[in-house]
Chains A and B, each alone.
Chain A
Amino acid sequence: QQQVKQSPQSLIVQKGGISIINCAYENTAFDYFPWYQQFPGKGPALLIAIRPDVSEKKEGRFTISFNKSAKQFSLHIMDSQPGDSATYFCAASPGTYKYIFGTGTRLKVLA
């Protein structure tokens, strides 16, 4: 099964709050899980990525949590800011140059 299921579809968070976006996959061959951020009118840009040999990766206010047994991974945005308002895509790849993206989460951070 090649699908990557992403939720929620949209998310509204107050400034300073925590934004959490979840993704789930079926294919156990996936071994690279990037998150991309997309602002209106722009192409997606890599935010953070993880391999399944670690359960968590943190870069600044952005953290990926990875649960290999549950086949789930999530993006946490701490101290969310209005500038974080964007669409976020999770993705998965089995390392064969193929990428499967989630359906996207539109995040709005209220000032």
Chain B
Amino acid sequence: EAQVTQNPRYLITVTGKKLTVTCSQNMNHEYMSWYRQDPGLGLRQIYYSMNVEVTDKGDVPEGYKVSRKEKRNFPLILESPSPNQTSLYFCASSWGDSYNEQFFGPGTRLTVL
């Protein structure tokens, strides 16, 4: 089944404790992206990757890191999480250019205490 998977789905952590949210897709998509969803703010793009080893900042990259060492994986790293990073996070992937459908993962709900 073609899909985007994220792990973990739920995470409660404390301020400053490094964490990684994994994202994997099995559709051989070149493009992958991370978003955060907050009430009243919609979806905001954190980072995106056009292909292996090529990443760029979205609108809200502060406090996040990403890497794209393999085509199928695009982990999101929070080096020192803070409470304002409490949010619902989505990973997405798509073919080639910007005009294609993005396929979203099921989401990761992160709470930083």
What residues of chain A have their CB less than 8 Å away from a CB belonging to chain B?
A: 2, 6, 9, 32, 34, 36, 41-46, 49, 51, 89, 91, 93-104
Total A-B pairs, Cβ < 8 A? 70
Question: In the complex, which residue of chain A has the Cβ closest to the Cβ of B101?
Answer: A46
What residues of chain B have their CB less than 8 Å away from a CB belonging to chain A?
A: 4, 31, 33, 35, 40-45, 48, 50, 56, 58-59, 90, 92, 97-99, 101-102, 104-107
State in angstroms the CA–CA spacing of A27 and B41 once bound together: 19
Question: In the complex, which residue of chain A has the Cβ closest to the Cβ of B4?
Answer: A43
Q: Known contacts A32-B99, A95-B99; can you find 20 more A-B pairs with CB under 8 A? A: A2-B59, A34-B102, A41-B107, A42-B106, A42-B107, A43-B104, A45-B104, A46-B101, A93-B99, A96-B98, A98-B45, A98-B48, A98-B59, A99-B33, A99-B102, A100-B45, A101-B35, A101-B44, A103-B40, A103-B41
Select which of B42, B58, B92 is within 8 A of A104 by beta carbon: B42
State in angstroms the CA–CA spacing of A42 and B56 once bound together: 26
How far in angstroms is the closest Cβ of chain A from B109? 10
Select which of B31, B50, B97, B102 is within 8 A of A95 by beta carbon: B97
How far in angstroms is the closest Cβ of chain B from A3? 10
Are A44 and B43 closer than 8 Å at their CB atoms?
Answer: yes
Question: A102 — which chain B residues lie within 8 A by C-beta?
Answer: 42
Are A97 and B98 closer than 8 Å at their CB atoms?
Answer: yes
Q: Which has the most chain A C-beta neighbours within 10 Å: B40, B48, B99? A: B99
